[in-house]
Protein backbone atom coordinates (compact mmCIF):
# COMPACT_ATOMS: atom_id res chain seq x y z
CA UNK A 1 0.00 0.00 0.00
CA UNK A 2 2.83 2.35 0.90
CA UNK A 3 4.53 1.65 -2.41
CA UNK A 4 1.31 2.43 -4.28
CA UNK A 5 0.87 5.71 -2.43
CA UNK A 6 4.49 6.63 -3.11
CA UNK A 7 4.10 5.82 -6.79
CA UNK A 8 0.87 7.85 -6.94
CA UNK A 9 2.53 10.82 -5.23
CA UNK A 10 5.52 10.57 -7.56
CA UNK A 11 3.18 10.53 -10.53
CA UNK A 12 1.37 13.65 -9.30
CA UNK A 13 4.70 15.44 -8.74
CA UNK A 14 5.89 14.48 -12.23
CA UNK A 15 2.59 15.61 -13.72
CA UNK A 16 2.78 18.95 -11.91
CA UNK A 17 6.36 19.44 -13.07
CA UNK A 18 5.38 18.62 -16.66
CA UNK A 19 2.45 21.02 -16.48
CA UNK A 20 4.74 23.71 -15.06
CA UNK A 21 7.21 23.22 -17.92
CA UNK A 22 4.38 23.44 -20.43
CA UNK A 23 3.25 26.75 -18.94
CA UNK A 24 6.79 28.11 -19.08
CA UNK A 25 7.16 27.02 -22.72
CA UNK A 26 3.79 28.58 -23.57
CA UNK A 27 4.77 31.85 -21.85
CA UNK A 28 8.09 31.95 -23.73
CA UNK A 29 6.33 31.21 -27.02
CA UNK A 30 3.82 34.01 -26.43
CA UNK A 31 6.61 36.44 -25.46
CA UNK A 32 8.55 35.49 -28.59
CA UNK A 33 5.48 35.89 -30.77
CA UNK A 34 4.81 39.31 -29.25
CA UNK A 35 8.38 40.38 -29.95
CA UNK A 36 8.09 39.22 -33.57
CA UNK A 37 4.77 41.05 -33.99
CA UNK A 38 6.30 44.27 -32.70
CA UNK A 39 9.48 44.25 -34.78
CA UNK A 40 9.06 42.22 -37.98
CA UNK A 41 6.04 44.11 -39.49
CA UNK A 42 8.08 47.29 -39.77
CA UNK A 43 10.21 45.59 -42.44
CA UNK A 44 7.36 44.04 -44.42
CA UNK A 45 5.80 45.44 -47.56
CA UNK A 46 2.14 46.43 -47.81
CA UNK A 47 1.06 43.08 -49.25
CA UNK A 48 2.35 40.97 -46.38
CA UNK A 49 1.11 43.50 -43.87
CA UNK A 50 -2.36 43.07 -45.35
CA UNK A 51 -2.06 39.27 -45.20
CA UNK A 52 -0.91 39.25 -41.58
CA UNK A 53 -3.60 41.74 -40.57
CA UNK A 54 -6.17 39.46 -42.18
CA UNK A 55 -4.74 36.51 -40.22
CA UNK A 56 -5.04 38.44 -36.96
CA UNK A 57 -8.62 39.46 -37.78
CA UNK A 58 -9.73 35.91 -38.59
CA UNK A 59 -7.96 34.65 -35.47
CA UNK A 60 -9.79 37.19 -33.29
CA UNK A 61 -13.15 36.32 -34.87
CA UNK A 62 -12.48 32.58 -34.55
CA UNK A 63 -11.54 33.03 -30.87
CA UNK A 64 -14.74 35.03 -30.33
CA UNK A 65 -16.80 32.32 -32.02
CA UNK A 66 -14.97 29.72 -29.92
CA UNK A 67 -16.59 31.15 -26.78
CA UNK A 68 -20.02 30.11 -28.03
CA UNK A 69 -19.20 27.02 -30.07
CA UNK A 70 -16.15 25.56 -28.34
CA UNK A 71 -16.73 26.45 -24.70
CA UNK A 72 -20.53 26.52 -24.48
CA UNK A 73 -21.22 23.99 -27.23
CA UNK A 74 -23.70 26.05 -29.27
CA UNK A 75 -22.80 26.42 -32.96
CA UNK A 76 -23.77 29.83 -34.25
CA UNK A 77 -23.64 30.32 -38.01
CA UNK A 78 -24.52 34.00 -37.83
CA UNK A 79 -21.78 35.47 -35.64
CA UNK A 80 -20.83 37.81 -38.46
CA UNK A 81 -23.93 39.84 -37.53
CA UNK A 82 -22.03 41.13 -34.49
CA UNK A 83 -19.07 41.99 -36.70
CA UNK A 84 -21.42 43.99 -38.92
CA UNK A 85 -23.04 45.80 -35.98
CA UNK A 86 -19.61 46.88 -34.73
CA UNK A 87 -18.60 48.03 -38.21
CA UNK A 88 -21.77 50.08 -38.72
CA UNK A 89 -21.47 51.58 -35.23
CA UNK A 90 -18.03 52.95 -36.04
CA UNK A 91 -19.06 54.08 -39.53
CA UNK A 92 -22.16 55.97 -38.34
CA UNK A 93 -20.50 57.55 -35.30
CA UNK A 94 -17.44 58.70 -37.24
CA UNK A 95 -19.22 59.92 -40.38
CA UNK A 96 -22.26 61.58 -38.78
CA UNK A 97 -21.17 62.59 -35.27
CA UNK A 98 -17.35 62.96 -35.62
CA UNK A 99 -16.72 60.54 -32.74
CA UNK A 100 -13.01 59.59 -32.44
CA UNK A 101 -12.20 56.17 -33.84
CA UNK A 102 -10.72 54.72 -30.64
CA UNK A 103 -13.90 55.57 -28.74
CA UNK A 104 -16.10 53.82 -31.29
CA UNK A 105 -14.34 50.45 -30.79
CA UNK A 106 -15.75 49.66 -27.32
CA UNK A 107 -19.10 51.22 -28.30
CA UNK A 108 -19.33 48.88 -31.28
CA UNK A 109 -18.62 45.89 -29.04
CA UNK A 110 -21.13 47.00 -26.41
CA UNK A 111 -23.93 47.51 -28.95
CA UNK A 112 -23.21 44.08 -30.43
CA UNK A 113 -23.32 42.52 -26.93
CA UNK A 114 -26.66 44.23 -26.16
CA UNK A 115 -28.07 42.93 -29.44
CA UNK A 116 -26.80 39.44 -28.52
CA UNK A 117 -28.58 39.60 -25.16
CA UNK A 118 -31.87 40.71 -26.75
CA UNK A 119 -31.81 38.06 -29.47
CA UNK A 120 -30.17 35.39 -27.32
CA UNK A 121 -32.99 35.19 -24.79
CA UNK A 122 -35.45 33.73 -27.35
CA UNK A 123 -32.91 32.05 -29.67
CA UNK A 124 -31.02 30.13 -26.98
CA UNK A 125 -34.14 28.21 -26.07
CA UNK A 126 -33.44 26.34 -29.31
CA UNK A 127 -30.80 23.64 -29.58
CA UNK A 128 -28.64 22.03 -32.25
CA UNK A 129 -29.33 22.80 -35.88
CA UNK A 130 -32.46 24.79 -34.96
CA UNK A 131 -30.29 27.34 -33.15
CA UNK A 132 -27.73 27.40 -35.96
CA UNK A 133 -30.39 28.08 -38.61
CA UNK A 134 -32.01 30.76 -36.43
CA UNK A 135 -28.71 32.66 -36.10
CA UNK A 136 -28.27 32.45 -39.85
CA UNK A 137 -31.72 33.99 -40.26
CA UNK A 138 -30.86 36.83 -37.87
CA UNK A 139 -27.83 37.70 -39.99
CA UNK A 140 -29.85 37.74 -43.21
CA UNK A 141 -32.51 39.88 -41.52
CA UNK A 142 -29.96 42.43 -40.32
CA UNK A 143 -28.43 42.58 -43.79
CA UNK A 144 -31.79 43.45 -45.34
CA UNK A 145 -32.52 45.96 -42.57
CA UNK A 146 -29.22 47.78 -43.14
CA UNK A 147 -29.98 47.88 -46.87
CA UNK A 148 -33.21 49.80 -46.27
CA UNK A 149 -32.23 52.27 -43.53
CA UNK A 150 -31.25 55.81 -44.45
CA UNK A 151 -28.77 56.36 -41.61
CA UNK A 152 -26.80 53.26 -42.65
CA UNK A 153 -26.49 54.60 -46.18
CA UNK A 154 -28.79 51.89 -47.55
CA UNK A 155 -27.32 49.88 -50.39
CA UNK A 156 -24.82 52.65 -51.15
CA UNK A 157 -23.05 52.22 -47.82
CA UNK A 158 -20.93 54.72 -45.89
CA UNK A 159 -17.55 56.19 -46.77
CA UNK A 160 -15.13 57.30 -44.07
CA UNK A 161 -12.64 60.11 -44.36
CA UNK A 162 -9.18 58.86 -45.30
CA UNK A 163 -6.74 59.25 -42.34
CA UNK A 164 -3.97 61.78 -42.81
CA UNK A 165 -1.21 59.15 -42.75
CA UNK A 166 1.23 57.61 -45.19
CA UNK A 167 -0.09 54.31 -46.62
CA UNK A 168 2.59 52.14 -44.98
CA UNK A 169 2.22 53.93 -41.64
CA UNK A 170 -1.55 53.46 -41.82
CA UNK A 171 -1.11 49.74 -42.57
CA UNK A 172 1.19 49.42 -39.56
CA UNK A 173 -1.30 51.26 -37.37
CA UNK A 174 -4.15 48.94 -38.36
CA UNK A 175 -1.88 45.91 -37.91
CA UNK A 176 -1.01 46.90 -34.34
CA UNK A 177 -4.65 47.70 -33.58
CA UNK A 178 -5.69 44.25 -34.79
CA UNK A 179 -2.83 42.68 -32.81
CA UNK A 180 -4.05 44.42 -29.67
CA UNK A 181 -7.62 43.26 -30.39
CA UNK A 182 -6.46 39.66 -30.75
CA UNK A 183 -4.51 39.91 -27.49
CA UNK A 184 -7.59 41.27 -25.68
CA UNK A 185 -9.75 38.48 -27.11
CA UNK A 186 -7.31 35.72 -26.15
CA UNK A 187 -6.87 37.17 -22.66
CA UNK A 188 -10.66 37.30 -22.28
CA UNK A 189 -10.98 33.65 -23.34
CA UNK A 190 -8.26 32.58 -20.89
CA UNK A 191 -9.93 34.44 -18.01
CA UNK A 192 -13.30 32.97 -18.97
CA UNK A 193 -11.95 29.41 -19.01
CA UNK A 194 -10.58 29.85 -15.49
CA UNK A 195 -13.70 31.48 -14.10
CA UNK A 196 -16.83 30.02 -12.58
CA UNK A 197 -18.76 31.05 -15.69
CA UNK A 198 -16.32 29.08 -17.85
CA UNK A 199 -16.87 25.92 -15.81
CA UNK A 200 -20.63 26.41 -16.08
CA UNK A 201 -20.43 26.85 -19.85
CA UNK A 202 -18.35 23.69 -20.25
CA UNK A 203 -20.87 21.82 -18.12
CA UNK A 204 -23.60 23.00 -20.51
CA UNK A 205 -21.51 21.78 -23.45
CA UNK A 206 -21.08 18.38 -21.79
CA UNK A 207 -24.71 17.82 -20.78
CA UNK A 208 -27.08 20.75 -20.52
CA UNK A 209 -29.84 18.76 -18.80
CA UNK A 210 -27.46 17.47 -16.14
CA UNK A 211 -26.06 20.99 -15.65
CA UNK A 212 -29.57 22.33 -15.05
CA UNK A 213 -30.27 19.54 -12.54
CA UNK A 214 -27.09 20.51 -10.66
CA UNK A 215 -28.46 24.04 -10.26
CA UNK A 216 -26.64 25.86 -13.07
CA UNK A 217 -28.71 28.65 -14.62
CA UNK A 218 -28.20 27.42 -18.18
CA UNK A 219 -30.13 30.27 -19.83
CA UNK A 220 -28.06 32.93 -18.07
CA UNK A 221 -24.70 31.37 -18.96
CA UNK A 222 -25.70 30.71 -22.57
CA UNK A 223 -26.75 34.33 -23.03
CA UNK A 224 -23.53 35.43 -21.29
CA UNK A 225 -21.44 33.36 -23.72
CA UNK A 226 -23.41 34.81 -26.63
CA UNK A 227 -22.80 38.36 -25.36
CA UNK A 228 -19.06 37.83 -24.77
CA UNK A 229 -18.70 36.38 -28.26
CA UNK A 230 -20.59 39.38 -29.67
CA UNK A 231 -18.51 41.89 -27.70
CA UNK A 232 -15.21 40.78 -29.20
CA UNK A 233 -16.66 40.29 -32.70
CA UNK A 234 -18.17 43.79 -32.67
CA UNK A 235 -14.86 45.37 -31.68
CA UNK A 236 -13.10 43.55 -34.51
CA UNK A 237 -15.73 44.87 -36.91
CA UNK A 238 -15.04 48.43 -35.72
CA UNK A 239 -11.35 48.12 -36.54
CA UNK A 240 -12.14 46.50 -39.88
CA UNK A 241 -14.30 49.38 -41.14
CA UNK A 242 -11.59 51.88 -40.17
CA UNK A 243 -9.13 49.77 -42.16
CA UNK A 244 -11.35 49.51 -45.25
CA UNK A 245 -12.75 53.06 -45.15
CA UNK A 246 -16.06 51.90 -46.61
CA UNK A 247 -18.94 49.69 -45.48
CA UNK A 248 -22.08 48.36 -47.15
CA UNK A 249 -24.56 45.64 -46.09
CA UNK A 250 -23.07 42.85 -48.20
CA UNK A 251 -19.61 43.54 -46.80
CA UNK A 252 -20.70 44.00 -43.17
CA UNK A 253 -22.80 40.83 -42.99
CA UNK A 254 -20.74 38.74 -45.40
CA UNK A 255 -21.41 35.00 -44.98
CA UNK A 256 -18.11 34.11 -46.67
CA UNK A 257 -16.30 35.85 -43.80
CA UNK A 258 -18.45 33.87 -41.37
CA UNK A 259 -17.39 30.65 -43.12
CA UNK A 260 -13.72 31.65 -42.87
CA UNK A 261 -13.59 32.05 -39.11
CA UNK A 262 -15.84 29.02 -38.52
CA UNK A 263 -13.46 26.91 -40.61
CA UNK A 264 -10.48 28.44 -38.79
CA UNK A 265 -11.99 27.38 -35.47
CA UNK A 266 -12.73 23.86 -36.70
CA UNK A 267 -9.29 23.45 -38.29
CA UNK A 268 -7.47 24.66 -35.21
CA UNK A 269 -9.57 22.90 -32.58
CA UNK A 270 -12.54 24.15 -30.57
CA UNK A 271 -12.58 24.61 -26.83
CA UNK A 272 -8.90 25.55 -26.57
CA UNK A 273 -7.15 28.91 -26.52
CA UNK A 274 -4.50 28.18 -29.11
CA UNK A 275 -6.71 26.20 -31.55
CA UNK A 276 -8.45 29.14 -33.31
CA UNK A 277 -5.10 30.93 -33.64
CA UNK A 278 -3.49 27.92 -35.34
CA UNK A 279 -6.53 27.46 -37.56
CA UNK A 280 -6.61 31.10 -38.66
CA UNK A 281 -2.89 31.14 -39.49
CA UNK A 282 -3.08 27.85 -41.40
CA UNK A 283 -6.26 28.77 -43.28
CA UNK A 284 -5.13 32.23 -44.38
CA UNK A 285 -1.57 31.28 -45.28
CA UNK A 286 -2.73 28.18 -47.17
CA UNK A 287 -5.32 30.31 -48.96
CA UNK A 288 -2.72 32.86 -50.08
CA UNK A 289 -0.26 30.15 -51.13
CA UNK A 290 -2.84 28.18 -53.08
CA UNK A 291 -4.28 31.32 -54.68
CA UNK A 292 -0.84 32.33 -55.96
CA UNK A 293 -0.18 28.90 -57.54
CA UNK A 294 -3.67 27.69 -58.52
CA UNK A 295 -5.53 30.81 -59.59
CA UNK A 296 -8.29 29.00 -61.49
CA UNK A 297 -9.02 26.21 -59.00
CA UNK A 298 -7.72 27.65 -55.73
CA UNK A 299 -11.09 27.36 -53.97
CA UNK A 300 -11.38 23.68 -54.90
CA UNK A 301 -7.82 22.94 -53.71
CA UNK A 302 -8.37 24.85 -50.48
CA UNK A 303 -11.64 23.03 -49.87
CA UNK A 304 -9.90 19.68 -50.40
CA UNK A 305 -7.20 20.58 -47.85
CA UNK A 306 -9.84 21.60 -45.31
CA UNK A 307 -11.69 18.29 -45.83
CA UNK A 308 -8.46 16.34 -45.29
CA UNK A 309 -7.74 18.21 -42.06
CA UNK A 310 -11.26 17.61 -40.75
CA UNK A 311 -11.13 13.90 -41.69
CA UNK A 312 -7.70 13.08 -40.29
CA UNK A 313 -7.62 15.65 -37.46
CA UNK A 314 -11.22 15.81 -36.21
CA UNK A 315 -10.09 17.64 -33.07
CA UNK A 316 -8.13 20.20 -35.05
CA UNK A 317 -4.46 21.03 -35.41
CA UNK A 318 -4.15 21.52 -31.67
CA UNK A 319 -4.58 17.74 -31.24
CA UNK A 320 -1.12 17.29 -32.78
CA UNK A 321 0.40 19.03 -29.76
CA UNK A 322 -1.72 17.12 -27.26
CA UNK A 323 -0.69 13.79 -28.82
CA UNK A 324 2.96 14.80 -28.64
CA UNK A 325 2.61 15.72 -24.95
CA UNK A 326 0.98 12.36 -24.21
**Cα–Cα dist 210/46, whole Å:** 52
Range of weakest confidence among 5-14, 97-106, 207-216: 5-14
Long-range contact set of residues 172-178: C-beta below 8 Å, sequence gap at least 24 = 172/41, 172/42, 172/49, 174/53, 174/239, 174/242, 174/243, 175/41, 175/49, 175/52, 175/53, 175/56, 176/41, 177/239, 177/242, 178/53, 178/56, 178/57, 178/60, 178/236, 178/239, 178/243
Percent of the chain residues topping a pLDDT of 70: 85
pLDDT given at position 16: 47
For residue 24, pLDDT over 60 is answered with: yes
Judge contact between 211 and 203, C-beta under 8 A: yes
pLDDT-based confidence at 15, cuts 50/70/90?
A: very low
**Cα–Cα dist 276/79, whole Å:** 15
Q: Per residue in 45-93, pLDDT tens? A: 888 899 999 999 999 999 999 999 999 999 988 899 999 999 999 999 9
For residue 14, pLDDT over 50 is answered with: no
Q: Per residue in 197-247, pLDDT tens? A: 999 999 999 999 999 999 999 999 999 999 999 999 999 999 999 999 999
pLDDT given at position 295: 66
For residue 13, pLDDT over 70 is answered with: no
pLDDT-based confidence at 287, cuts 50/70/90?
A: confident
**Cα–Cα dist 250/254, whole Å:** 5
**Cα–Cα dist 17/9, whole Å:** 12
**Cα–Cα dist 280/110, whole Å:** 25
Q: What is the mean pLDDT of the chain?
A: 86
Residue partners of 315: CB distance under 8 A and separation at least 6: 269, 322
For residue 34, pLDDT over 90 is answered with: no
Give me Rg for the CA atoms of the chain: 21
**Cα–Cα dist 157/160, whole Å:** 10
pLDDT given at position 311: 80
For residue 37, pLDDT over 90 is answered with: no
- Report the residue count for the chain: 326
**CA 122 to centroid of chain Cα atoms:** 23
Interior angle at CA 308, CA 302 and CA 314, nearest 5: 125
**Cα–Cα dist 283/269, whole Å:** 13
Amino acid sequence: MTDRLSAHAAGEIAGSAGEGRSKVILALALAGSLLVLLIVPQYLNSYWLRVLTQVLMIAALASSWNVMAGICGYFSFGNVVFFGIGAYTTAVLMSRFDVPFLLTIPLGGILAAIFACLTGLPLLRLRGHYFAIATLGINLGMRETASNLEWTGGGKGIWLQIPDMEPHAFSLYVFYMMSAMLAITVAGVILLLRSRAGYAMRAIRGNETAAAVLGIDTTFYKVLAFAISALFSGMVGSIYIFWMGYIEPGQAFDMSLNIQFVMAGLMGGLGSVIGPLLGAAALQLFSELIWSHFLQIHLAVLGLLIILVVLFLPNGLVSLFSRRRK
